[in-house]
């Protein structure tokens, strides 16, 4: 069909890579699998963001997917120096969305707008313009259940949530241990908490919620969201589990020279022998922890591929707004002296950013030490790779608990009483256990089962296509109905 005949949908993402990645994949699927034209609106800042640029300008994006950056925000002018991660993100979004109405008016007839969890201001704008609006929550079904329960928790609990006498019982979900609570909930007086509460309280305004998960992975949480009386009363919008959405690194296109080097190095390693160490788009270690990590990897005598960043004691998400920037380019400046020489035979170190999915897909990778961001978790599961859970911030501790305890594909290193970091011996132990131990074998079998269970879902006529097709049909017929009304008049 001619480009203009195709129904048009807009998708809105905040600037965080963990949001851009799945929303862009979602957009591609609307174009390639369901015949839409998509405008991908994205919050941008004036600061350089090389990893974001690389994704948004990838040569393999389909013709009918049009990326449109909203006017760049000067983060320094809207964010206070001591603002925490989510506050920064939300203030930047708020500033950016001031231009949303004008942008949406410019776009030709939109069948629907799909917005990221932290862009709920868009509900008001879209409602003025009568555009049906959906939410895309880029985390697990269990986390969505938790988020929908949060306003109730906020009303019912008076003190700090971390001082509750026992775990939080979210309707229809396993209990959440207090130490695994989302960062933002640990201090209710902080602005971050208010922002999270603000956005999640507005979720019921959505006409539907998309999740990057699937029934085979989270049957109980999804059933609860759809059937449990609590979520009916909220009321929770219809939930569409449309995963796994995995960014395939352009299938070879758009790989940088460092990525090609990593893949060539992996070609030379035995099957399932390498542990990939990668902490998401923003994760960083403290100086002390980074030293222990280097020692742990070395002592384990296992092969490793480490996507490494400059350590920092200020925050665990220090690279969030600047990942891929130049200052991290030279690991010899911040890795323990001699480490690179001593591990030359078994290790490969890449600064800052690499094509994670392409690496995880390589048969030489046998384990993934991950911060357990939801995208990384889904990627590891779809590639059948067992994990070492190294949660750092946001909801990563809840994801880690789920992967270790419910799904059975991850091991969590323990931190000794009185210490702030996981020591080198513990890192040595878990790396060995997962790459070459019995425990690792069991977890790998489980991860493979999950990968294999996806073959049918992803195949022709599988439920993967159907999970999105029903909503797409609704969107396509919206215009039909209006036309009919016009004809009848
Ligand atoms: N990623 C990547 N290369 C890196 C680090 C991360 O391609 O060096 C990708 C990763 O594959 C995932 C996304 O960035 O798709 C990070 O999302 P996730 O939800 O795992 O974590 P977040 O960055 O939101 O904490």
DSSP secondary structure string for all residues of 106-137: HS---SEEEEEGGGTHHHHHHHHTT--EEEEE
280 lines ligand 1 (CB under 6 A): yes
305 lines ligand 1 (CB under 6 A): no
324 lines ligand 1 (CB under 6 A): no
Residue 2 scores a pLDDT above 70: no
Q: How many A from CA of 280 to the centre of ligand 1? A: 4
Selection from 199, 162, 360 nearest residue 275 by Cα: 360
Q: Which atom of ligand 1 is nearest to the CA of 249?
A: 7
116 among known catalytic residues: yes
pLDDT mean over 118-132? 97
Q: How many A from CA of 382 to the centre of ligand 1? A: 15
362 among known catalytic residues: no
Q: Tens digits of per-residue pLDDT, 44-99?
A: 999 888 888 989 998 889 999 999 999 999 999 999 888 899 999 999 999 999 99
Q: Tens digits of per-residue pLDDT, 364-401?
A: 999 999 999 999 999 999 999 999 999 999 999 999 99
Q: Which atom of ligand 1 is nearest to the CA of 307?
A: 8
51 lines ligand 1 (CB under 6 A): no
* Number of other CB atoms surrounding residue 277 within 10 Å: 24
What is the per-residue pLDDT for 485? 45
Q: How many A from CA of 159 to the centre of ligand 1? A: 34
Q: How many A from CA of 369 to the centre of ligand 1? A: 13
323 lines ligand 1 (CB under 6 A): no
CA dihedral 163, 165, 166, 167 (to 10 degrees): -30
Selection from 466, 19, 449 nearest residue 247 by Cα: 19
Contacts with 480 (C-beta within 8 Å, 6 or more apart), sequence order: none
What is the per-residue pLDDT for 42? 98
361 lines ligand 1 (CB under 6 A): no
Q: Tens digits of per-residue pLDDT, 406-444?
A: 999 999 999 888 888 999 999 999 999 999 999 999 999
Residue found under tokens 């929908």: 148
Which ipTM value was assigned to this complex?
A: 0.99
Tokens of 439: 């425990």
Residue found under tokens 């969030």: 320
Residue found under tokens 């989302």: 182
Q: For residue 461, what is the DSSP state?
A: T
How does residue 253 score in pLDDT terms, banded at 50, 70 and 90?
Answer: low
Considering the chain, what percentage of its residues have pLDDT values greater than 90?
Answer: 84
40 phi and psi angles, rounded to 5 deg: -100, 105
370 lines ligand 1 (CB under 6 A): no
Query: What's this model's pTM, rounded to 2 decimal places?
Result: 0.95
Tokens of 292: 């222990």
Q: Which of 8, 34, 64, 116 is catalytic?
A: 116
Mutational pocket test of ligand 1: of 14, 116, 280, 371, the residue with most ligand atoms within 8 Å of the beta carbon: 280
């Amino acid at each position: 069909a001619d480009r203009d005949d195709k129904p048009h949908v807009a998708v809105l993402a905040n600037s965080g890579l963990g949001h851009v990645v799945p929303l862009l994949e979602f957009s591609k699927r609307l174009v390639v699998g369901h015949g839409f034209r998509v405008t991908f609106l994205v919050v941008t800042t004036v600061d350089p963001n090389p990893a974001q640029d690389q994704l948004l300008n990838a040569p393999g994006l389909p013709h009918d997917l049009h990326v449109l950056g909203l006017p760049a925000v000067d983060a320094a002018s809207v964010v206070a120096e001591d603002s925490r991660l989510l506050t920064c993100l939300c203030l930047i979004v708020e500033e950016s969305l001031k231009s949303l109405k004008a942008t949406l008016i410019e776009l030709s007839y939109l069948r629907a707008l799909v917005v990221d969890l932290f862009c709920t201001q868009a509900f008001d704008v879209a409602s003025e313009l009568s555009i049906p609006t959906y939410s895309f929550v880029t985390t697990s079904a269990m986390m969505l259940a938790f988020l929908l329960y949060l306003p109730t928790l906020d009303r019912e609990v008076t003190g700090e949530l971390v001082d509750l006498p026992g775990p939080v019982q979210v309707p229809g979900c396993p209990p959440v241990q207090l130490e695994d609570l989302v960062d933002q909930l640990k201090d209710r007086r902080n602005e971050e908490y208010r922002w999270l509460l603000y956005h999640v309280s507005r979720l019921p305004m959505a006409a539907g919620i998309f999740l990057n998960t699937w029934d085979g992975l989270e049957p109980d949480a999804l059933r609860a969201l759809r059937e449990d009386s609590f979520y009916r009363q909220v009321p929770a919008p219809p939930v569409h589990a449309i995963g796994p959405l995995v960014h395939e690194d352009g299938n070879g296109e758009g790989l940088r020279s460092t990525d090609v080097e990593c893949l060539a190095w992996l070609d030379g390693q035995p099957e399932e022998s390498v542990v990939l160490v990668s902490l998401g788009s923003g994760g960083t270690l403290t100086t002390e922890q980074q030293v222990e990590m280097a020692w742990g990897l070395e002592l384990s005598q296992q092969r490793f591929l480490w996507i490494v960043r400059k350590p920092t004691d200020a925050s665990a998400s220090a690279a969030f707004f600047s990942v891929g920037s130049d200052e991290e380019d030279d690991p010899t400046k911040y890795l323990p002296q001699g480490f690179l020489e001593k591990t030359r035979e078994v290790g490969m170190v890449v600064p800052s950013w690499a094509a994670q999915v392409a690496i995880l897909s390589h048969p030489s990778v046998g384990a993934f030490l991950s911060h357990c961001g939801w995208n990384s978790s889904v990627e590891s599961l779809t590639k059948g790779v067992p994990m070492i859970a190294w949660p750092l911030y946001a909801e990563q501790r809840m994801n880690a608990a789920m992967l270790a305890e419910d799904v059975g594909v991850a091991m969590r290193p323990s931190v000794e009483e009185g210490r702030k970091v996981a020591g080198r011996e513990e890192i040595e132990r878990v790396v060995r256990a997962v790459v070459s131990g019995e425990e690792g074998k069991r977890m790998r079998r489980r991860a493979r089962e999950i990968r294999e269970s996806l073959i049918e879902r992803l195949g022709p006529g599988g439920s993967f296509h159907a999970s999105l097709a029903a909503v797409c049909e609704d969107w396509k017929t919206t215009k039909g109905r209006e036309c009919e009304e016009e004809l009848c008049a």
